[in-house]
């Protein structure tokens, strides 16, 4: 296929490589053009603007660092939208706001162009070794047209539906899950260290008990299915244990704001009469506060 690729940063460069090595013809653009040179020997053509990268392409990818860069290359003067043919598709892999993704959807639709949001999970090394996981959304025709390209980028692809920005919601949720885990690890290591346990020891245990276990998967399923009863471990007990954490951390002088937050959630759940549900019923408490309908 004839493709364009806009944005050759740590992620974009290896992604463009993957498309080249899958045999496609790729016109590349980057703010600093030198970034594209290593791709020339693989057959890439370095062009002078996003518009030019889009010109004549069936599909043009973009992979930028933030909203303002992504908006500029798409909608700015000499932007993708000005060069892309009617019927061709812009695939945006940047981690951008849901609001901007919606604006891009609308702008391309007005220009009779297609738009697919296709953010990726994985680091530059994963991009290099085609181990990314791609999450895509857009109209069925557009997504199907891009499917072989998206599959060439990584080890898997999840297609979400017709509203492109849904893919951004999911990507952002994934990064939120990681950031939360980082905070909880940060607090757990500070607590154990200050209580006199070597980080290396706690790490070994973490690897043995958590890292490869299906714990998180099982709980994610419980929350997805809103199945909180019968309790495997009751919210009442969760409240007790997180309370014990805070008590010991108080003694060790370790502030654990995430532990406090979780304790307050459990305390609210118990106060409202849900103490006998499984402790994963945090899912129900959070959903209720979001105004979601109750679990069936």
- Does position 289 bind a second copy by CB under 8 A? yes
- Nearest alpha carbon to residue 59 among 85, 29, 33: 85
Angle (nearest 5°) at CA 216 between 212 and 220: 145
Indicate which single residue of 210, 277, 294, 296 sits in contact with a second copy (rule: CB under 8 A). 210
Kindly state whether residue 203 participates in binding a second copy, applying the rule CB under 8 A.
Answer: yes
Q: Given the complex with a second copy, which of 26 and 234 has the nearer CB atom?
A: 234
Distances (CA, A) of 71 to 49, 76, 96: 14, 7, 9
Q: Looking only at residues 77 through 116 of this chain, which bind a second copy when binding is defined by CB under 8 A? A: 95-99
Site for a second copy in 43-72 (CB under 8 A): 65-67
Residue 268 sits in the site that holds a second copy (CB under 8 A): yes
- Toward a second copy, which CB reaches closer, 21 or 173? 173
**Residue 171 is a catalytic residue:** yes
Q: Which of 56, 184, 227, 276 binds a second copy (CB under 8 A)?
A: 184
75 belongs to the binding site for a second copy (CB under 8 A):
no
> Is residue 149 exposed (0-12), middle (13-18) or buried (19+ Cβ within 10 Å)?
buried
Smallest separation (angstroms) from a second copy to the CB of 195: 4
Considering the candidates 171, 200, 240, 294, report the single residue annotated as catalytic.
171
Q: Distance between CA atoms of 262 and 62, rounded to whole angstroms?
A: 39
Contact assessment for residue 89 and residue 145, using Cβ atoms and an 8 Å cutoff = yes
Strands in 137-286 per DSSP E: 154-159
Nearer to a second copy, 40 or 205 (CB): 205
Q: 3-class DSSP state for residue 116?
A: strand
Closest CB to a second copy among 65 and 75? 65
Q: Reduce the DSSP state of residue 158 to 3 states and report it.
A: strand
Q: Can residue 231 be called a binding residue for a second copy (CB under 8 A)?
A: no
* Catalytic positions, written as ranges: 171
């Amino acid at each position: 296929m004839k493709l364009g690729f806009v944005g050759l940063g740590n992620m974009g460069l290896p992604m463009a490589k993957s498309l080249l090595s899958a045999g496609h013809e790729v016109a590349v653009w980057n703010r600093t053009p030198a970034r594209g040179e290593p791709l020339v020997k693989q057959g890439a053509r370095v062009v002078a603007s996003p518009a030019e990268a889009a010109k004549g392409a069936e599909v043009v990818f973009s992979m930028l660092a933030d909203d303002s860069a992504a908006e500029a290359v798409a909608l700015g003067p000499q932007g993708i939208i000005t060069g892309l043919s009617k019927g061709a598709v812009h695939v945006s892999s940047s981690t951008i706001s849901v609001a901007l993704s919606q604006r891009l959807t609308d702008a391309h639709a007005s220009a009779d162009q297609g738009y697919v949001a296709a953010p990726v999970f994985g680091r530059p090394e994963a991009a290099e070794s085609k181990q990314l996981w791609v999450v895509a959304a857009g109209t069925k025709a557009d997504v199907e047209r891009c499917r072989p390209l998206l599959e060439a980028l990584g080890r898997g692809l999840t297609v979400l539906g017709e509203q492109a920005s849904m893919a951004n919601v999911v990507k952002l949720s994934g990064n939120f899950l990681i950031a939360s885990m980082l905070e909880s690890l940060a607090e757990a290591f500070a607590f154990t260290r200050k209580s006199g346990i070597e980080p290396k020891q706690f790490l070994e245990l973490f690897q043995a008990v958590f890292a490869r276990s299906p714990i998180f998967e099982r709980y994610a399923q419980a929350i997805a299915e809103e199945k909180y009863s019968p309790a495997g471990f009751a919210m009442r007990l969760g409240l007790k244990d997180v309370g014990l954490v805070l008590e010991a951390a108080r003694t060790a002088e370790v502030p654990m704001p995430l532990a406090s937050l979780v304790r307050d959630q459990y305390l609210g759940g118990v106060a409202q009469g849900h103490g006998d549900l499984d402790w994963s019923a945090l899912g129900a408490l959070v959903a209720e506060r979001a105004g979601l309908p109750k679990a069936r």
